Structure 1
Amino acid sequence: MSDQETPFTDKAPASAPRPVRGAARCAVAALALAALAWVVRAVWHIRLATTGQPASGPPDQGGGQHRPLTALEDSYHLVSSVGGAVTVLCALAFLSWLDRVRDNARALSGTEPRYGSLWLYLGWILPVVNLWIPRGIVADAHRSVFPDRRLPAVVNWWWALWLAGLAGGVGLIYTDSTDEVIARAYTDVLSLLAADVVIVAAAGTAALMIRTLTTAQQERMDETAPTGRPGTAS
C-alpha cells in the first residue's frame, strides 16, 4: 500500500449498507443538467463565431482595457455563470453518490477502502494525483464487493473522457477568462466545440457508470438483506 492510500482512513466500519438508488438518481439528474448546460454553451460558441468579432476587436483590449460588451457577449457571460453553478451542483451530487457507494462497499466487504475519506475530495484537486485517485476510488468501491468481476468498461471510458475534458484548459476548467473564451470563439471555435462535445460525452458515460455500479451494488445488498450479514463476492 502506498503512502497515498492510508493517511486519511478515519471512518469506523459501517454497520449496514444504506439504499443507494436515490443518491444515484440525483447524481444522474445533475449530470443531465450539466450536459444540457454544456450544450447551451456550445450553442453560444456557435452564435459568437457566426456573428463574428466586432470591428472594435475582442472584449479584452489588452493593457487592462476592456470595451463594452455586445448583447450577445453579455448573454454568454450569463450562460457561463449558470454553467459554472450547475457544474458545482453536479460535483456535489456525484460526490454524495460516491460517498454512499464507498460506505456501502465497506459494509458489504468488511474491508476498509483503499483510499481514506479526505481523498474523496482532495483526490480531485491535488495536481498529479488527480490523474488516477478519483478513478481508483470508484474502482475500489466496486472491486471490494466484487473481487472476481472485471471492472465495468464504462468506468475507463468515463475516466478517459474526464481527463480529455480537463486537457488544455478548454473543457471543464477554463484557464482563460470568460472574455478570453469569447475571443477564442471568434478565432478558434472548433477547439471550443470539441471540448464541449467531450464534456457532454463524459457526463453521459458518468451517468451510465453510476447506473451500472449502483445496480450491481443494490443487487448485492438485496441478496444479503435476508441474512443481515455482509455479502461475499460470488
Structure 2
Amino acid sequence: MDQPIAYPFGLRPIRLSGQLAAGALLLAGLVWVVRGVWEIRLALAGEPASGPPVQGNGVHRPLNALEDSYHFVNAAGSVGGLLCAVFFIGWLWRVRDNAKALSGQVPKYAGFWVYAGWCVPIVNLWIPRGIVADVFHASAPGRKLPASLNVWWVLWLIGMLSGVGFVYRDSTDEIIARTYTGVGPLLVFDAAVVGSAVAGALVVRALTRVQLERMRGVLPEGDKGGHVVAPSPGVS
C-alpha cells in the first residue's frame, strides 16, 4: 500500500483547502440569494400601517413575522461571510506559500497583506486581487490569468461599494425599512455579492488546479489527489 509522506520543497496540501474555500463561497452565495428573496417579499408586503421598525427617539415597534424571519436570514448571511473569510484566507496562505516554493521568488506583497489587504481603506480596492494574481503568475508562469479573476474582483468592488450604508452602518431593522422605500439598490448589492461568490469559487478552483498541475511536474513521486506518496518497499 502507498504510504503518504510530507510535501518536499516546502509545499503544502491544497486540494481540500481549495474545496472548502470554493464550497464556502458557493454556500455564502446561496444564502445571499435567500436574503434577496426575503427583501423582495418584504417589498411586496409593503410597510405596515404602524410604520418602519425604527420610529425615532429610541422607539422600536414590534416586528411582524416576515420582518422577524429576515433577522435570521441576515444573520445567516453574516455567518456565511465569516466562513468565506476563514476558508478563503486559509487557502490563500497555502497557495501563496506554495507559489513561493515553486518559483523561488519573494511574493510581491508581504504576508500581513493577506489579512490587512481586505480591511485597510483604499488599498483594499486592489491588493487582494493583486495577491491572487501574483500567486497565479508564480504558480503558472506564462499563462494568462483566468477571466473569472477580474469578474470576481469587479463584482466584489460593486458589492463592497454599494453595500456601504446597507450592511456596515445600518442595523437589520433599518435595512428592512429600506426594502419598503426602495428595494432596488439592496437587490443590486445582493446580485453583486452572489455573482462575486460564484466567480470567486471559480478562481479558487482555477488556481488550485494550475498549482496542482505544477506540483505534478516538480514532485519526484507525483501528486495523488493533492498528497505526495512514495511507493512501498519492493514496489518499483
Q: 2:44 aligns with which of 27, 45, 50?
A: 50
Residue number among 92, 95, 99 corresponding to 2:89 in the alignment: 95
8 A contact 1:171–1:196 mirrored in 2: no
Q: Could you tell me how far apart the structure 2 residues matched to 1:171 and 1:30 are?
A: 25
1:27–1:90 contact (8 Å) kept in structure 2: yes
Greater RCO, CA 8 A, separation 6+: 2
Amino acid at match of 1:206: G
What percent of counterpart residues are identical? 56
Partner residue, 2:17: 23
Count of residue correspondences:
215
Deviation per CA, 1:29-59: give whole Å up to 9, x if none: 1111101110110111011111110001100
The corresponding residue for 2:228 is none
**Which residue of the partner structure matches residue 136 of structure 2?**
142
Aligned residue number for residue 184 of structure 1: 178
1:59 to 2:56 alignment: no
Whether the aligned pair in 1 keeps the contact of 2:156 and 2:196 (CA below 8 Å) is yes
Q: Does 1:197 align with 2:191?
A: yes
> 1:171, 1:199 within 8 Å by CA — same for their partners in 2?
no
Please give the alpha-carbon distance, in whole angstroms, between the structure 2 residues aligned to 1:92 and 1:112.
Answer: 24
Moved more, 167-176 or 140-149: 167-176
Whole-angstrom CA distance in 1 between matches of 2:161 and 2:35: 18
Is contact 1:15–1:107 with CA below 8 Å preserved after alignment?
Answer: yes
Q: Are 1:111 and 2:72 matched, yes or no?
A: no
Matched, 1:130 2:124: yes
TM-score (norm. length: structure 2)? 0.86
Tell me, in whole angstroms, the C-alpha distance in 2 between the residues paired with 1:153 and 1:218.
Answer: 19
Q: State the secondary structure of the residue aligned to 2:30.
A: helix
Shift of 1:170: 5.6
Return the offset for 1:15: 3.4
Q: Which runs of 5+ in 2 are unaligned?
A: 1-7, 223-236
- Provide the rounded CA distance (Å) in 1 between the counterparts of 2:20 and 2:114: 18
1:6 maps to what in 2?
none
What is the rounded CA distance, in whole Å, between the counterparts of 1:188 and 1:221 in structure 2?
51
Match of 2:213 among 206, 216, 219: 219
Q: 1:10: which partner in 2?
A: none
Q: Secondary structure at the match of 1:33?
A: helix
Larger radius of gyration: 2
Contact 2:31 2:77 in 1 (8 A): yes
Deviation at 1:223, TM superposition (A): 0.7
Map residues 166-185 of structure 1 onto 2, 5 A cutoff.
166-169=160-163, 173-185=167-179
> Contact 1:158 / 1:206 at 8 angstroms: preserved in 2?
yes
Aligned to 1:164: 158
Please tell me the root mean square deviation across aligned C-alpha atoms, in Å. Answer: 1.8
The unaligned stretches of length 5 or more in structure 1 are 1-13, 229-234
Say whether the 8 Å CA contact 2:54–2:174 is kept in structure 1.
yes
Structure 1 stretch displaced more, 103-112 or 150-159: 150-159
AA aligned to 1:149 is R
2:97 maps to a residue whose letter is D
